[in-house]
Structure 1
Amino acid sequence: MAENDDRFDEDRENVDNLERLLARAEEDDSEGDEEAEVTSASSTIEEETDVDHVISEEERARSLIVDMPNPHGSIIEGANGGEGTTVRAAFLGKEMQSSFLEYSMSVIVSRALPDVRDGLKPVHRRILYAMNESGYTPNKPHMKSARTVGDVIGKYHPHGDSAVYDTMVRLAQPFSMRLPLIDGHGNFGSIDGDSAAAMRYTEARLDKAAMELLRDLEKETVDFQPNYDESLQEPKVLPARFPNLLVNGSNGIAVGMATNIPPHNLGESIDATCLMLDNPDVTTEELLQVMPGPDFPTGGIITGRQGILDAYETGHGNLTVRAKCSIEERKNGRYSIVVKEIPYMVNRKRLLEKLGELVRDKKLPEISNIHDAADRHGIDIIIDLKSNAVPQVVLNKLYKHTQLQTGFGMNMLALVENTPRLLTLKEILYYYIEHQKDVVTRRTRYELARAEERAHILDGYIVALDNIDEVISIIRSSQTDKEAAKRLTSRFGLSKKQTDAILEMRLRRLTGLEREKIEEELAELREKIAYYKRVLADEREVRLIIKEELQDVKKRYGTPRRTRITAEAKEIDVEDLIADENMVITMTKAGYIKRLPVTTYRQQKRGGKGMQGVNLKESDFVEHLFVASNHSYMLFFSTAGKVYRLKAYEIPEASRHARGTAIVNLLPLMKGETISAVIATKEFPENEFLMFATEQGMVKKTAMKQFANIRKDGLIAINLRDDDHLIAVRRVAQGQKVIMVSSAGKAIMWDEEEARAMGRDTMGVRGMTVPADAHVLGMEIARPDTDLFVITEKGFGKRTPVSEYPCHHRGGQGVYTITMTQKKGLLSVMKIVGPEDEIMIISEEGVVVRTPVSGISELGRSTQGVCVMKVADKDRVVAVAISSTGKKRKAKTAEEGADIDKEEMEELEAESEAGALGEDDLD
């Protein structure tokens, strides 16, 4: 033992000396004395180790092969056939380069990157193929997952069982795959990050969609290759009858590169493929029309389309994905943020832990509590806010500090002919279509060969049946099968296959009925053969087949889009989280404002008692009630003549019984300043104006475009006298009529041209003259074929056609519009209504009645009116709003929510009135 150790040490010392000399020789780039020393050292080692190996002059400075015995005394056979271990001295840099290149290519091609044709990595493909070969199909019972994992490892994928099982689990998770390929039975994990149960407990089988990837595999549609030990064959790629790379996406980290392709909607991906089938030169913008972007299985919101466009055109782009959240008011008047959907690949349990950390660290002091409301119906996270919290601000902080907003870097890298390539959307579709062309062509050739083979046999049957007596005679007179076959072939010119088929034919095939079946089958086969040949001769037929089969897959497995895509990517995009629906907005005398859906109030007949619309403090009453879209701009005009602006959704939503939020918390109002009029609009057209009216009868007309940009602290809208107040603001267009009504029961109508357009910082002109003990109640735009509706404090009202009011010059006192009595009370409100309108009437105590205008009597100017609303003794009518035009609406889907047709909304906006009414439409 000691002798062997000494010899090994000597050999090692010689090798070290040789390596030092080699390094010095390469550094000095000389071949002088060093080369001689290298040769000497080489000779010495060869003598001492007894190696029969000749080193050429060219290799002497580069490598040295040394056989050394095992230091422990055992002899190891070397690569050269002698005793000992083969040692090769090589340059480490080049060795690492070549070895690492081989390793990296193996990882890239065989493990980490998907194939562009079927969108699968080798492990995915082998799992699906192994399950299909073992018969674990959708029409069979579930089988133990361990059995599938064993089949995959033993036959095709000799790697760790946990890696294979984890891959199999992901293929069955509906929150990971947009179209799951495996139907799992048991615990396959959760969106909370819970791991799946052990493979011995779970069961699985192929999902129906996976069969579309495997369909026609047996028809020689793809190439096969030997498995790792060459005992079996496995497919190089699956036929993939839908674009799986887009539908389920892929992510993987290779060596020096990575792929991250998001999932897409199946129906949209198929539509994009069909669009490119019809027009190979289709542009990316045209593809975006049918496939607007990724569609994550967990839903969420993608903010901005630029990242999608970049990825589709270059292969790389960055997306911002947000959770779907809603702001809800609780019974205690506080608000909660309800998270209904989270971004893709976000661990919900870790998200809850992060929220808890932020609350404990006081980074989100506005949050009072967090509830996990997940159940079988959803994964809601309820975030309760404190009473003074502004929900939109808290939501923005959540986006900034948590995974409620994440980035998704699209990197569409895939294998094209075993070469990694960064692909555009058009290239992915192109290679998929080329693959489908190849699949359909090979399948057609396979079916053509089988059809021709079967037709050939049937032709032989027909010959035999036509000469049945002679055939039977030949067979009976033959001593052996070979002799019979030879004689039949010689006599009738049959092939060997035809002869064998005739000899094996049963006697029952000799009946007349069987002959007819053979002839029918042969006719059908000849039609199929002609069709197959036509398909193989015409690429357009191939494209048509691909398109038809894709549409069939879409019909059977297509689902609605889950992920919303907003128009622009913004840091704060609250509007995209709020449905564009019409809301009822109320504001009390004390300055409490709220919004709630119009559907809260049910329709009633004339004279109804109404329902409680709001709980108010003592001596408080509702002063303004109007209707507006959530996305409309709300222009608030104060009694001091200033204008402020909010979006409708910025007004906190509240329940029917809630008081609402103080307007001073939303607008920077001065002491004693209150809101007297509100305008709701989405645009500021140049050809429209705002008409202002004051309590003392002054009017002013100003272009709407002057209110397009308003500071947070407001702007001056009209100059007022010290003892005057702004009472009404209306949108007015050229040629319209203006009607004003005073508390004295008189009305005056005049043309809008009577008031010339002025700037904002002006006082205006006289619109109506009123007595000293009276004041102007309101001002409206008198549209043709409409009525003037007036109502007293006790709920008695009527409507009179505007055509009964003479048109005067502005500045007059007007004519009587109602006969007032002490029983019916003073005139309270005036409105212009149409015959199909509905109105909402609200009293000082908050009682609301919604009734159609058609149920209110149409009377002359000098009449008293009828009971429109029953008002309690100590109550009085304070506000009226038009709630609906009565027009029919299109059907609303679950995705559309309360949205109405865009053109219809634009039409309603054009007809919308100012003041208490923002937009005419509610439904």
Structure 2
Amino acid sequence: MKSAYIDYSMSVIVARALPDVRDGMKPVHRRVLFGMYELGVFSNRPYKKSARIVGEVLGKFHPHGDSSVYDTMVRMAQEWSLRYPLVDGQGNFGSVDGDSPAAMRYTEARLAKIAEEMLTDLDKETVDMQLNFDDTIYEPVVLPAMVPNLLVNGASGIAVGMATNMAPHNLSEIVDGIIAYIDNNDISISELMNYIKAPDFPTGGIIYGYEGVKSAFETGRGRIVIRGKVTVEETPSGRERIIVTELPYQVNKADMIKKTADLVNEKKLDGIADINDESDRNGMRIVYDLKRDAMASIVINKLYKMTALQSSFSVNNIALVNGRPEALNLKGLIKHYVNHRHEVVIRRTEYNLREAEKKAHILEGLIIALDHIDEVIALIRASKTPDDARKGLVERFELSEIQAKAILDMRLQKLTGLERDKLKTDYEELMKRIGELKEILANVELRMGIIKDELRRIKEKYGDERCSEIVYTAEDIRMEDVIPDEPVVITISHLGYIKRTPLTEYRVQNRGGRGSRGSTTRDEDFLEHLFVATNHNYMLFFTEQGKVYWLRVFEIPEGSKTSKGRAIQNIIQLSPDDSVKAYINVKTLKDEEYINNNYIILATKHGTIKKTSLEAYSRPRTNGINAITIHEGDELIAARLTNGNSEVLLALKSGRAIRFNENTVRAMGRTAAGVRGIKLASDKDEVIGMICVEDDSYDILVVSEKGYGKRSKLEDYRVTNRGGKGVKTINITEKTGNLIAIKNVRDEDDLMIINKSGIVIRIPVADLRVMGRATQGVRLINLKDDDEIAAVAKVEAFDELNDTEEENPENLPDENGDNSEKADTEEKDS
């Protein structure tokens, strides 16, 4: 049983169900075309009865049922089944409604013009021949296939343990793609897709979505969604009607109409009053009359969802390569076709060379005879028999038997002067042709040029416009491809309004200015958080209750510098009593090496610190996941991304700061509570910020509520053990107010300061001089009345901001006329 079944399955796979990658044909298709070729029913000859053709194929090549041969021939003649039909049928060959064709005794057929291209050069020993089932005559193992049939017409078949389903394509696109491959064998599939856009189905329709096409081209497998082509018309009475003019590939029109009518009758499909099939010889037209209150767009979507008006074509490119089934992508199919055509060109050239050399050999003999014609005539007249004459010629003139025979067969008219000149001219042309053929065999580029020229001729002769339209869906267009990866400012207000604004909207001002108007906020609202990122980054949002949410930066709504933004609850699903406190800008969450070698350090208001691998946060859900366990009365205030070797600085409202090595904090799980980072000075004290630094190239910048700040060297903060009280970082007085922010900065950075009144100022860090750790600092921003600083953010330098004063006319003193000299004088006085 086992061996017999394996034999059977191999027979089905190799000799019945799967197409050959070279000519795209199964044995039955090849035999039908070869049988018609042998019968001589070419496109320029009269049609022959189908029964005559089927009998020829059955009797000589295909020992199976006559229906298998006739059904194959019928399908090859149906313009809705094959993108480029290979048989020209006359009579009833069925319909798109699934009507069966007339019996073979009534129909007639002949080869289509394009099918003759598949058989061109078959008589020039271009392909291997094999004996038929009774070893009496030869049939081709494969056709020369000047047309890339497998790619343009596709194939489908169910074997044993495997199946194939290959889509048809547009001939013009395929030829362009093959030529591009010949010109560059290393061409990528994405580059090939510039030439070959998508499958092209004979029934037209709309290819809806590109992901399936891309997958099919790249892997050989993919699901392509096809929709019928639909338009909406208005009747004279004012009602709407839906008109379908094209159907998805392989959809039976009559069945689809019947099933749609059943859905309407069962009240599963609303809005349709009547269905009519108005198709005729001019084309397809299915009319759905709508009820008065029905909306066409809604009914169309229901038709797509519930009926065969939208169907899918599952591509599975399996073909026989050297007799073995193989899954192939687009480039693989093209490569095997080009290799086949290359072999055909070589074998055809070798055949033509052999024939030319045979002819040249005979002409050489004839020319010798003409040069010694009197002697030849005398020799022939003196011979008793033709054999004696032949032997005499061979011996006298050192000719071959073939040449001697040709001389004896020569007609007397060849002796005229004109004929003698013509012989010599023919010989010269033949020798030139032999030289060309030898050059072709010696030069692969010439052979590839011939393949390209033949393909261009095929395209010119049979190429046409696409039948199927391509419509890209939202899923196909990755937002990254549409949105440039530019730096943006993310701002979040106290009441939770978020937006992103191009960084270039914020202009650089001199220190001590009043600032320009930033976000428009309500009286009780003010900007509380600001973050700089680029559009393609990932952002992790950490809330005060210890949860984390995930967004791409481009998913944050864009707004101008003065717009309010959008409530964050509308973008991420925050619980009503929670608010976002910290953000981490992450380049990617897809790179395993990156997420396993980077860490997130979290700090809470009460001085707790926690370190966790980024990998633990790489799979957030839409409703958030726990990032840290927060104790009662505490809340998360900061989160930082590190590489595992950073130093951490925590700053307190009371003006103290601690510096310790990240290695003193062990990595914990996502739900752990963490360890003590700094000891609070009092019950009213709290942590206001955390920074992580990797080297001493950064300075430490601190800012107080009343607008004072200063830069200090990192080395001024000695490294201690975590959990200590820290050292003084700014001298806190009533004039300065409590400490509000701590940042690590460099000269090329800018500082953005936001007041509770909504005023935004941007100043270069380079304008701030470095001073001692325990000093009071200098005034950074002039505050009106009881206004205070709400938030401070560091803006890292970007190339597009390094413009000269002349190029950036906005780089002027601020709106209130304050300039740097006046500001410096005020600071000296203070």
Bin the TM-score by the shorter chain: 0.5 to 0.7
Change (3 A) 1:457 1:687: farther
The separation in 1 between residues aligned to 2:282 and 2:563, in whole angstroms, is 51
Partner of 2:407: 502
1:176 CA displacement:
0.2
% same residue: 53
1:543 aligns with 2:445: no
Q: 1:213 aligns with which of 118, 124, 130?
A: 118
Amino acid at match of 2:350: R
1:568 CA displacement:
2.4
Partner of 2:81: 176
The separation in 2 between residues aligned to 1:685 and 1:253, in whole angstroms, is 51
Amino acid at match of 1:362: K
Partner of 2:93: 188
Is the Cα–Cα contact under 8 Å of residues 214 and 238 in structure 1 kept in the other structure? yes
Secondary structure of 2:279's partner?
Answer: strand
1:349 aligns with 2:254: yes
TM-score, scaled relative to structure 1: 0.52
Partner of 2:359: 454
Amino acid at match of 2:433: K
Listed one character per residue, the Cα deviations across residues 68-105 of structure 1 (whole Å, up to 9, x for unaligned) are xxxxxxxxxxxxxxxxxxxxxxxxxxxx2111100000
1:300 aligns with 2:187: no
1:685 CA displacement:
13
Listed one character per residue, the Cα deviations across residues 187-221 of structure 1 (whole Å, up to 9, x for unaligned) are 00000111100000000000000001000000000
Is the Cα–Cα contact under 8 Å of residues 130 and 148 in structure 1 kept in the other structure? yes
Q: 1:419 aligns with which of 317, 324, 327?
A: 324
Partner of 1:480: 385
Is the Cα–Cα contact under 8 Å of residues 221 and 440 in structure 1 kept in the other structure? yes
Listed one character per residue, the Cα deviations across residues 381-433 of structure 1 (whole Å, up to 9, x for unaligned) are 01111111111111010001100001111000000111111111111111111
The separation in 1 between residues aligned to 2:385 and 2:262, in whole angstroms, is 91
1:365 CA displacement:
2.2
Is the Cα–Cα contact under 8 Å of residues 489 and 495 in structure 1 kept in the other structure? yes
The separation in 2 between residues aligned to 1:280 and 1:492, in whole angstroms, is 53
Is the Cα–Cα contact under 8 Å of residues 272 and 291 in structure 2 kept in the other structure? yes
Q: How does 1:87-106 map to 2 (within 5 A)?
A: 96-106=1-11
1:163 aligns with 2:68: yes
Change (3 A) 1:703 1:242: farther
Amino acid at match of 1:194: D
Is the Cα–Cα contact under 8 Å of residues 270 and 299 in structure 2 kept in the other structure? no
Partner of 1:261: 166
Q: 1:403 aligns with which of 296, 308, 320?
A: 308
1:372 aligns with 2:280: no
Partner of 2:150: 245
Amino acid at match of 1:458: L
Partner of 1:223: 128
Secondary structure of 2:193's partner?
Answer: helix
The separation in 2 between residues aligned to 1:192 and 1:354, in whole angstroms, is 13
The separation in 2 between residues aligned to 1:474 and 1:144, in whole angstroms, is 58
Partner of 2:428: 523
Partner of 1:199: 104
Is the Cα–Cα contact under 8 Å of residues 686 and 703 in structure 1 kept in the other structure? no
Amino acid at match of 1:375: D
Secondary structure of 2:59's partner?
Answer: helix
Is the Cα–Cα contact under 8 Å of residues 300 and 323 in structure 1 kept in the other structure? yes
1:174 CA displacement:
0.3
1:308 CA displacement:
1.3
Change (3 A) 1:510 1:196: same
The separation in 2 between residues aligned to 1:274 and 1:222, in whole angstroms, is 23
Partner of 1:4: none
Partner of 2:650: none
The separation in 2 between residues aligned to 1:539 and 1:136, in whole angstroms, is 36
Secondary structure of 1:326's partner?
Answer: strand
The separation in 2 between residues aligned to 1:520 and 1:306, in whole angstroms, is 62
Is the Cα–Cα contact under 8 Å of residues 275 and 287 in structure 1 kept in the other structure? yes
Amino acid at match of 2:25: L
Is the Cα–Cα contact under 8 Å of residues 686 and 704 in structure 1 kept in the other structure? no
1:373 CA displacement:
1.0
1:333 aligns with 2:231: no
The separation in 2 between residues aligned to 1:459 and 1:705, in whole angstroms, is 93
Amino acid at match of 1:119: G
Partner of 1:919: none
1:132 aligns with 2:37: yes
The separation in 2 between residues aligned to 1:313 and 1:275, in whole angstroms, is 17
The separation in 1 between residues aligned to 2:149 and 2:222, in whole angstroms, is 20
Is the Cα–Cα contact under 8 Å of residues 685 and 704 in structure 1 kept in the other structure? no
Moved over 4 A (4+): 684-689, 702-707
Listed one character per residue, the Cα deviations across residues 22-42 of structure 1 (whole Å, up to 9, x for unaligned) are xxxxxxxxxxxxxxxxxxxxx
Change (3 A) 1:516 1:329: same
Q: How does 1:837-852 map to 2 (within 5 A)?
A: none
The separation in 2 between residues aligned to 1:153 and 1:293, in whole angstroms, is 37
Q: Which range is displaced more, 561-570 or 404-413?
A: 561-570
Change (3 A) 1:542 1:704: farther
Is the Cα–Cα contact under 8 Å of residues 437 and 546 in structure 1 kept in the other structure? yes
Secondary structure of 2:236's partner?
Answer: coil
The separation in 2 between residues aligned to 1:288 and 1:306, in whole angstroms, is 13
Partner of 1:232: 137
Is the Cα–Cα contact under 8 Å of residues 557 and 566 in structure 2 kept in the other structure? no
Secondary structure of 1:550's partner?
Answer: helix
Q: How does 1:830-841 map to 2 (within 5 A)?
A: none
The separation in 2 between residues aligned to 1:705 and 1:335, in whole angstroms, is 41
Secondary structure of 1:338's partner?
Answer: strand
The separation in 1 between residues aligned to 2:100 and 2:287, in whole angstroms, is 24
Q: 2:471 aligns with which of 548, 554, 566?
A: 566
Listed one character per residue, the Cα deviations across residues 735-756 of structure 1 (whole Å, up to 9, x for unaligned) are xxxxxxxxxxxxxxxxxxxxxx
Amino acid at match of 1:559: D
Partner of 2:654: none
The separation in 1 between residues aligned to 2:71 and 2:12, in whole angstroms, is 18
Amino acid at match of 2:165: N
Partner of 1:152: 57
Is the Cα–Cα contact under 8 Å of residues 303 and 570 in structure 1 kept in the other structure? no
1:488 CA displacement:
1.2
Partner of 2:634: none
Change (3 A) 1:505 1:378: same
Secondary structure of 1:289's partner?
Answer: coil
Q: How does 1:32-43 map to 2 (within 5 A)?
A: none
1:293 CA displacement:
1.0
The separation in 1 between residues aligned to 2:236 and 2:407, in whole angstroms, is 87
Structure 1, unaligned runs of 5 or more: 1-95, 572-683, 690-701, 712-923
1:487 CA displacement:
1.5
